[in-house]
A and B are shown apart, each in its own frame.
Chain A
Amino acid sequence: MSLIAAVVSDLTSPVSWQDEAEQQGGASKAYEMAVPSDNLSSEPERLDVTKAQIAKRLINQFVEGQKGPDVTGYRTARQEAERVDDTIGSQKTTKPWETSPVVRPVNWTRANTFSALQEWEGEILAVENEHIAVSLVDLTARKRRATEHTRIPLSEINEQDLPRLAKGRVFRWAIGYLRLKSGTKKRVSNIVFRDLPRWTQRDFSDAKADAAKLLRFLGTDGAGAEPRDAESGEG
Chain B
Amino acid sequence: MEQVQNLAMQNPAKDEIDVVVIGPGFGECILIHIGAGEWIVIDSCVDSSSERPAAIVYLEKIGVDPSQAVKLVCASHWHDDHVGAMAELVGACTAADFACSAALSRSEFVELASVLNRNLSLIQPAGPTEIYNVLNILEQRRQVPLRVVANLPFFRRPELSCVVTALSPSNTEFDRFLRSATALYPPLTTSKSLRVPDPKPNDLSVAMWVTIGDVHILLGADVEEHGDSHRGWSAILASKADRTRARLFKIAHHGSITGHHDDIWGIMLESNPHAVLTPWNRGSKLPTAADRDRIMSFTGHAFATSRPVSAREKKKGSAVDRTLTEANITIQDLEPPTGFVHFCMKPGGPTWNVTLSPEALTLDKYVA
Contact = CB atoms under 8 A, between A and B. Distances in A.
Interface of A: 117-118, 121-123, 135-137, 139-153, 155-156, 166, 168-170, 175, 177, 187, 189, 193-201, 203-204, 206-208, 210-211, 213-215, 217-221, 225-228, 230-232, 234-235
Given A148-B334, A149-B311, A169-B194, 18 more contacts: A139-B122, A141-B51, A145-B84, A147-B334, A150-B330, A175-B319, A187-B319, A198-B189, A199-B186, A199-B188, A200-B188, A203-B115, A207-B114, A214-B135, A230-B146, A234-B71, A234-B97, A235-B157
A52 B133 CA distance: 62
Interface string B133-162: 001100100101111110011111111100
Interface stretch (B169-177, B321-329, B355-363): B321-329
A166 B191 CA distance: 12
B68 to A, nearest CB: 15
Nearest to B136: A214
B144 A228 contact: yes
A227 B147 contact: yes
Interface string B332-354: 11110000000000000000000
A220 B194 contact: no
B320 interface: yes
Q: Which 8 A-B pairs have the closest CB atoms?
A: A196-B192, A211-B114, A207-B114, A207-B115, A147-B335, A230-B152, A168-B194, A118-B320
Contacts of A146: 122-123
**Secondary structure at chain A's binding surface: helix, strand, loop or mixed?**
mixed
Contacts of A175: 319-320, 323-324
B118 interface: yes
Contacts of A235: 156-160
Given A122-B123, A137-B122, A148-B332, A227 B144 contact: yes
Nearest to B311: A149
B46 A187 contact: no
Contacts of B118: 203, 206-207
A200 B119 CA distance: 13
A203 B320 CA distance: 39
A219 to B, nearest CB: 7
Interface centre among A169, A195, A207, A208 (most CB of B within 10 A): A207
B157 A147 contact: no
A196 B191 contact: yes
Nearest to A227: B144
Given A145-B84, A221-B107, A123 B146 contact: no
Given A118-B316, A153-B329, A203-B118, A230 B148 contact: yes
A3 to B, nearest CB: 57
A204 B116 CA distance: 9
A144 B46 contact: yes
Given A150-B332, A199-B187, A215-B110, A189 B327 contact: yes
Nearest to A166: B194
B337 to A, nearest CB: 12
Contacts, number: 195
Contact of B111 (A140, A201, A208): A208
Contacts of A145: 26, 46, 80, 84, 122, 126
Contacts of A148: 314, 331-334
A195 B190 CA distance: 11
A196 B191 CA distance: 6
Contacts of B132: 214
A117 B319 contact: yes
A77 B135 CA distance: 82
Contact of A121 (B121, B185, B322): B121
Interface string B93-111: 0000100001001110011
26 contacts: A117-B319, A135-B123, A140-B316, A144-B126, A146-B122, A149-B334, A155-B327, A156-B327, A169-B193, A170-B121, A175-B320, A175-B323, A199-B192, A201-B188, A203-B115, A204-B188, A211-B113, A214-B132, A215-B107, A215-B111, A217-B139, A218-B105, A218-B144, A220-B106, A230-B149, A234-B155
B107 A220 contact: yes
Most chain B CB atoms below 10 A, which of A121, A148, A232: A232
B114 A210 contact: yes
B195 interface: yes
Contact of B144 (A170, A213, A225): A225
B51 A144 contact: yes
Contacts of B63: none
A178 to B, nearest CB: 12
Contact of B329 (A152, A177, A187): A152
Which among B71, B114, B332 has the greatest number of chain A C-beta atoms within 10 A? B114
